[in-house]
């Protein structure tokens, strides 16, 4: 697959959505509203676990938030109920493995990196995030389901020093991981019409993530155009045969106007689908 082809296909696979992996949205007053379908056949979830989860036999009452929600949804009362294929194997950050839970859906279990307060090196953090996404996407490529729903890697209690950076590092990590995927994996995902939805379930974060993903999509489209023009020029012998310089790391986010996003407003994927529907109509 040619370099510019990879960038040109970014928007066909990746989107951000203004709901959580269960299709719910948490409003500004902490109220929850169902705005998308619940997971079922055809939907794959990516869910982080810890080494302690994989080895523990304790009850899950101490879990909170998404951790507790997904275990309840799977009807798992103890950590020992996790897929036997992953228990005892979670030995490194970035580990990812696909498992099918009958009557529910397929889930990519992965070890989420934990960023401590002393982890200040943004470039190193981006490398860790990129590696995690790369492994998750490889596991998803093996799934029968066509749509992957996942929260941003590292979101929540594990964010540490990245708490205020994750919204602009996430789109960059997703893109870099996509660019590093093997050609046969990307071609398989495109042939099957697979999609990856980065789910932002809290209304207060939807706008900040949204502008960053919209910017990333635009940069990918521009990169595809530049790379295609470079290829044409090389064929005409106008430019030296050298690689395009890598895109520099963005170390700050896009300024966002303070405004309340509409509850359950569509993300990039919903917008794209709406535009396509209008064209067909």
pLDDT tens for residues 166-187?
899 999 999 999 999 999 999 9
pLDDT tens for residues 25-81?
988 778 888 989 989 889 999 988 765 665 555 555 555 555 667 777 777 655 555
Quote the CA–CA distance of 154 and 152 in Å, as a whole number: 6
Residue-level pLDDT at 232: 72
Residue-level pLDDT at 270: 43
pLDDT band at 280 (very low <50, low <70, confident <90, very high): very low
Q: What percent of the chain has pLDDT over 70?
A: 65
Name the 3-class secondary structure at 106: strand
Report the predicted TM-score, pTM, of the whole model to 2 decimal places: 0.81
pLDDT tens for residues 189-214?
999 999 999 999 888 888 899 999 99
Give me the chain's average pLDDT, please.
Answer: 76
pLDDT band at 93 (very low <50, low <70, confident <90, very high): low
pLDDT at 125 > cutoff 70: yes
Handedness of CA 212, 97, 183, 197 (dihedral sign): negative
Name the range with the highest mean pLDDT among 133-142, 151-160, 230-239: 133-142
Average pLDDT over every residue of 249-267? 58
Average pLDDT over every residue of 245-269? 59
Residue-level pLDDT at 42: 92
Phi, psi of 107 (to 5 degrees): -135, 135
> Do 144 and 129 meet the contact criterion of CB atoms below 8 Å apart?
no
Residue-level pLDDT at 271: 46
Residue-level pLDDT at 48: 81
> Do 280 and 226 meet the contact criterion of CB atoms below 8 Å apart?
no
pLDDT band at 102 (very low <50, low <70, confident <90, very high): confident
Give a three-class secondary structure readout of 7-42.
Answer: HHCHHHHEEEECCCCCCEEECCCCCEEECCCCCCCC
Residue-level pLDDT at 29: 77
pLDDT band at 92 (very low <50, low <70, confident <90, very high): low
pLDDT tens for residues 223-242?
888 777 777 776 776 655 45
> Do 250 and 168 meet the contact criterion of CB atoms below 8 Å apart?
yes
Residue-level pLDDT at 106: 92
Quote the CA–CA distance of 158 and 163 in Å, as a whole number: 9
């Amino acid at each position: 697959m040619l370099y510019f082809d990879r960038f040109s296909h970014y928007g066909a696979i990746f989107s951000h959505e203004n709901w959580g992996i269960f299709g719910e949205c948490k409003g500004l007053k902490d109220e929850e509203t169902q705005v998308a379908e619940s997971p079922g056949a055809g939907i794959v979830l990516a869910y982080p676990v810890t080494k302690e989860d994989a080895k523990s036999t304790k009850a899950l009452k101490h879990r909170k938030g998404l951790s507790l929600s997904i275990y309840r949804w799977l009807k798992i009362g103890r950590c020992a109920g996790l897929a036997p294929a992953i228990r005892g194997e979670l030995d490194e950050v970035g580990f990812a493995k696909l498992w099918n839970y009958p009557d529910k859906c397929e889930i990519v279990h992965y070890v989420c990196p934990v960023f401590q307060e002393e982890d200040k090196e943004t470039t190193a953090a981006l490398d860790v995030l990129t590696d995690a996404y790369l492994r998750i996407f490889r596991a998803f490529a093996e799934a029968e389901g066509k749509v992957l729903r996942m929260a941003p890697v590292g979101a929540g209690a594990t964010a540490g020093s990245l708490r205020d950076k994750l919204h602009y590092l996430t789109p960059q990590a997703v893109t870099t991981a996509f660019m590093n995927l093997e050609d046969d994996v990307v071609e398989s995902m495109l042939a099957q019409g697979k999609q990856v939805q980065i789910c932002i379930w809290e209304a207060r974060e939807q706008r900040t993530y949204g502008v960053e993903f919209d910017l990333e999509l635009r940069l990918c489209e521009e990169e595809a155009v530049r790379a295609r023009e470079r290829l044409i020029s090389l064929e005409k012998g106008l430019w030296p045969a050298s690689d395009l310089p890598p895109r520099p790391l963005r170390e700050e986010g896009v300024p966002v106007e303070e405004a309340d996003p509409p509850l359950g407003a569509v993300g990039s994927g919903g917008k794209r689908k709406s535009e396509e529907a209008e064209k067909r109509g």
